[in-house]
Chain A
Amino acid sequence: MAELSAAGRAPAGVIHDIGYQRYTGVRLGRGRVVQALFVHSLRTAYGLGRTAKAKVFPGILVGLGVTIAVVAVAIRTQTGEVEMTYLQFVDTMGIPLLLFLAVIAPELVCRDLRSRVLPLYFSRPLRRSDYALAKLAATVSAAFLLLAGPLLLMALGGLFAQTGGVHGAWHEVTDFLGGLGYAALTAVVLGAFALPLAALTSRRAIAAVVIAVGFTVTTPVVGVLMSLGGPTAQQLSSLANPVSLLSGLEAWLYRDDRVDIGDFGPLYLLVAVALVAVSTAALLTRYRKVAA
Chain B
Amino acid sequence: MSLIETHSLTKRYPRVTALDGLTVDVEPGIIGLVGANGAGKSTLIKIMLGLLDRDDGAVRVLGLDPATDGEAIRARVGYMPEHASLPPDMIAAEFVTHMGRMSGLPKAAARERASEALRHVGLYEERYRQIGGYSTGMKQRVTLAQALVHDPDLLLLDEPTNGLDPAGREAMLGLIERIGTEFGISVVVCSHLLGEVERICESLIAIDGGKLLRADRVSSMTRRRDVLAVEVDEGADQLLTRLSGLGLDVVRAGPELLVPLAGDETFDQILTAVAELDLPLHRLDQRRHGLAELFADVPAEVSHG
Contact = CB atoms under 8 A, between A and B. Distances in A.
Interface of A: 16, 19-23, 25-30, 32-33, 36-37, 40, 49-51, 111-112, 115-127, 292
A117 B75 contact: no
A30 B71 contact: yes
Contacts, number: 93
Contacts of A51: 89
A10 to B, nearest CB: 16
Contacts of A16: 119, 124
Contacts of A117: 85-87
- Interface size, B (range): 35 or more
Nearest to A118: B85
Given A28-B106, A30-B71, 5 more contacts: A25-B105, A26-B106, A28-B105, A116-B85, A120-B99
B150 interface: yes
B102 A112 contact: no
B51 interface: yes
B113 A33 contact: no
Nearest to A37: B102
B79 A116 contact: no
A120 B116 contact: no
Contacts of B164: none
B51 A122 contact: yes
A27 B72 CA distance: 11
A26 B88 CA distance: 30
Contacts of A124: 74-75, 99, 102-104
Nearest to A21: B116
Contacts of A30: 71, 104
A25 B106 contact: yes
25 contacts: A20-B120, A20-B183, A20-B184, A23-B150, A25-B109, A26-B106, A26-B109, A28-B105, A32-B104, A37-B102, A112-B87, A115-B85, A115-B86, A116-B83, A117-B87, A119-B79, A122-B51, A123-B49, A123-B81, A124-B102, A125-B72, A125-B102, A125-B104, A126-B102, A292-B46
A111 B72 CA distance: 28
Contacts of B72: 125
A51 B98 CA distance: 16
A23 B113 contact: yes
A-B CB proximity, top 4 nearest? A116-B85, A23-B151, A123-B79, A20-B183
Given A27-B75, A112-B87, A116-B83, A33 B51 contact: no
B102 A33 contact: yes
- A32, A120, A122 — which one has the most chain B CB atoms within 10 A of its CB? A120
A51 B151 CA distance: 29
Nearest to B107: A36
Contacts of B79: 119-120, 123
A22 B143 CA distance: 19
